[in-house]
C-alpha cells in the first residue's frame, strides 16, 4: 500500500480492558484517528501464549507455548523475523521477569525493566528516542510491553487475598476499583509515549492493543486472569493508527476477530509474502474496503489452564472455548462440563442455553478437532456424550 517503509510501533497494554480504558480522553482521541477492533479474541487469556500468538499468527497448539509452567519454545517465525528480513531495526522493551518467556530472541536490542521499581514511562521514552536517534534512514519496529493492570493486582490483591475471597468480587468490587485506578496510570503513560512519538515522526504505523483481559470481579475463583475462558479475560482489542498518507479513514469494526490476525494484517499491509502457514487471517481488506461486510464465518478457539482457581492446571490447558458469534461454547475437561451461551443476548455469560440452539454442534466439533490435533490423546479423556 505504500512505497516507503513506515516505522512500526506496537504497544501492548497487558491485561487491559477496552471499556475501562475508553473512559480516559487519550483513548477517546485515539479512536478518532484509528481503525478500532473492539472484539478481538485472544487464543489464551494470559501473557506468554497470547504474545506468542500475536507474534506468530499461530494458535498455542501450533507454537507450543500453551501452559504457564512449560519451557518456552522460540522456534517459529515471528513478526520480528519478517521485520529483520526487510532490514528494519528491531527494538523491544519487556519486564525483566518475563524476558525468558516472550518471543524476543531476534530483536536487535532489548530493554528490560522492573515493573515495581522503574519508571516505565521514562524507560520507554528513552527507547523511543534511541530508536529514532539510531535510525539513520532505516525504518524500525518497536515493541513496547507495558505491564498494564498486572502491577496493581499483584500489589493489592494477590499478596493480600485468596481467589475465593468473596469480599473482592461483585459489581462494585475492589478488583474493579483497582482496574479503574490502573487505567488512569496507563492513560498517562500512553499520552506521554504518543507525545514523544509525534515530536519525532507524524507518519508511523501505531498499533495499540491488549494481549488479554482481566477480571473486574466477575467470577469468584479468578482474581486476575487465566483461570476461565469467559469474555472478560479472552476479549482483547486493537487500535491501528495508519500513516496519514494512506488515507485510511477511522472506523470501528465490530466483527469478532482474533489477535492471531495482527501479524498477517501487518504483512499484507507491507506486501510481504508469508514464509509459513498461519492460523490468523489478514484484516486489511476489511480495513480499507467495505466495513459493513461481515468477515467470513469463523470459529475462534481459546484455551487456558490456571495456576490458581478451582481446577489449577499449570502444565497443560484444561478449559477451552469456541466462539462462532453470537454462539459460544465453553468446556472444562477436568469436570466434563459444557456451558453454551448467546453472547449477544447474554454478554456476561450468566444464562447457559440448551445445546439445541444455534451452532452448538459446529462449535463442539471445532473444539474437539482442536484438542485432538494438539494432544493426540485417547478420545475417552475428552469426549463426553451430549
pLDDT in tens, 45-96: 999 999 999 999 999 999 989 998 887 777 889 999 999 999 999 999 999 8
Cis peptide before 22 (omega within 30 of 0): no
Residue 365 has pLDDT above 90, yes or no: yes
Instruction: Specify the pLDDT at position 201.
Output: 75
CA dist., res. 323 & res. 335, Å (int) = 21
CATH architecture label of 8-288: 3-Layer(aba) Sandwich (3.40)
Look at the domain 318-382 and name its fold: Arylsulfatase, C-terminal domain (3.30.1120)
Contact predicate 68/305, CB 8 Å: yes
Angle (CA) 145-263-114 rounded to 5° is: 10
The strand pairing partners of 302, in sequence order, are 321
Q: Which of 98-102, 111-115, 245-249 has the highest mean pLDDT?
A: 111-115
pLDDT for res 296:
66
Q: Sorting pLDDT into bands at 50, 70 and 90, what band is 30?
A: very high
Among 284, 282, 303, 286, smallest CA distance to 294 is for 286
Give me the pLDDT at residue 72, please. 74
Q: Do residues 40 and 253 make contact, with C-beta atoms less than 8 angstroms apart?
A: no
| Proportion of the chain above pLDDT 70, given as a percent | 93
Which of the four pLDDT bands, split at 50, 70 and 90, describes residue 27? very high
Residue 384 C-alpha cell reads as 463426553
All structural domains of the chain with their residue ranges = 8-288, 318-382
Arithmetic mean of pLDDT, 206-215: 97
pLDDT, average across residues 127-149: 89
pLDDT of amino acid 15: 95
Band the pLDDT of 382: cuts 50, 70, 90. Answer: very low
Cα-Cα end-to-end distance for the chain: 49
Report the relative pairing of strands 327-332 and 140-146 from DSSP bridges. unpaired
Locate 362 and state its grid cell. 459446529
Task: Tell me the sheet residues that pair with 112.
Answer: 94
Instruction: Look at residue 245 in the predicted model and tell me its pLDDT.
Output: 82
What is the Cα gyration radius of the chain? 20
As a whole number, mean pLDDT of residues 250-271 equals: 96
Q: Which of 290, 226, 237 is nearest to 261 (CA)?
A: 237
Four-point Cα dihedral 48, 63, 43, 116, nearest 10:
10
Residue found by looking up cell 479468578 in the block: 222
| Residues in Cβ contact with 328 at an 8 Å cutoff, skipping those fewer than 6 apart | 231, 321, 322, 340, 341, 342, 343, 349, 363
Asked whether the predicted pLDDT for residue 164 surpasses 90, the reply is yes
Average pLDDT over residues 25-52: 96
Longest CA–CA separation in the chain, Å: 63
Q: Is the pLDDT of residue 378 over 50?
A: no
pLDDT value of position 2: 45
The whole-number pLDDT of residue 297 equals 82
Amino acid at each position: 500500500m505504500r512505497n516507503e517503509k513506515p516505522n512500526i510501533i506496537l504497544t501492548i497494554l497487558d491485561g487491559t480492558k477496552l471499556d475501562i480504558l475508553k473512559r480516559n480522553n487519550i483513548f477517546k482521541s485515539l479512536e478518532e484517528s484509528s481503525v478500532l477492533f473492539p472484539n478481538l479474541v485472544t487464543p489464551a487469556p494470559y501473557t506468554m501464549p497470547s504474545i506468542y500468538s500475536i507474534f506468530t499468527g499461530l494458535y498455542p497448539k501450533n507454537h507450543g507455548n500453551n501452559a504457564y509452567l512449560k519451557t518456552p519454545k522460540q522456534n517459529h517465525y515471528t513478526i520480528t523475523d519478517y521485520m529483520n528480513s526487510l532490514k528494519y531495526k528491531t527494538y523491544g522493551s519487556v519486564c525483566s521477569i518475563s524476558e525468558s518467556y516472550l518471543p524476543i530472541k531476534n530483536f536487535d536490542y532489548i530493554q528490560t525493566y522492573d515493573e515495581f521499581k522503574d519508571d516505565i514511562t521514562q524507560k520507554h521514552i528513552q527507547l523511543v528516542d534511541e530508536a529514532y536517534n539510531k535510525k539513520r534512514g532505516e525504518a524500525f519496529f518497536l515493541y513496547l510491553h507495558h505491564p498494564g493492570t498486572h502491577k496493581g493486582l499483584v500489589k493489592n490483591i494477590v499478596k493480600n487475598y485468596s481467589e475465593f475471597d468473596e469480599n473482592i468480587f461483585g459489581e462494585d468490587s475492589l478488583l474493579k476499583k483497582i482496574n479503574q485506578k490502573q487505567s488512569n496510570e496507563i492513560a498517562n503513560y500512553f499520552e506521554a509515549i504518543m507525545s514523544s512519538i509525534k515530536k519525532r515522526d507524524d507518519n508511523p504505523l501505531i498499533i495499540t492493543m491488549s494481549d488479554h483481559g482481566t477480571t473486574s470481579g466477575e467470577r469468584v475463583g479468578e482474581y486476575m486472569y487465566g483461570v476461565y475462558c469467559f469474555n472478560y479475560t479472552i476479549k482483547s482489542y486493537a487500535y491501528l493508527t495508519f500513516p496519514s498518507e494512506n488515507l485510511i479513514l477511522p472506523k470501528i469494526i465490530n466483527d469478532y476477530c482474533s489477535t492471531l490476525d495482527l501479524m498477517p494484517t501487518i504483512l499484507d499491509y507491507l506486501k510481504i509474502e508469508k514464509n509459513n502457514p498461519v492460523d490468523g487471517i489478514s484484516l486489511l481488506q476489511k480495513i480499507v474496503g467495505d466495513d459493513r461486510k461481515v468477515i467470513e464465518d469463523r470459529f475462534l478457539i481459546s484455551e487456558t489452564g490456571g495456576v490458581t482457581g478451582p481446577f489449577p492446571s499449570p502444565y497443560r490447558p484444561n478449559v477451552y472455548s469456541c466462539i462462532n458469534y453470537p454462539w459460544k461454547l465453553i468446556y472444562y475437561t477436568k469436570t466434563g462440563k459444557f456451558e453454551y451461551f448467546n453472547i449477544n443476548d447474554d454478554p456476561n455469560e450468566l444464562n447457559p442455553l440448551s445445546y439445541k440452539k444455534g451452532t452448538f454442534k459446529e462449535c463442539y466439533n471445532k473444539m474437539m478437532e482442536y484438542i485432538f490435533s494438539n494432544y493426540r490423546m485417547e478420545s475417552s479423556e475428552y469426549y463426553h456424550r451430549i
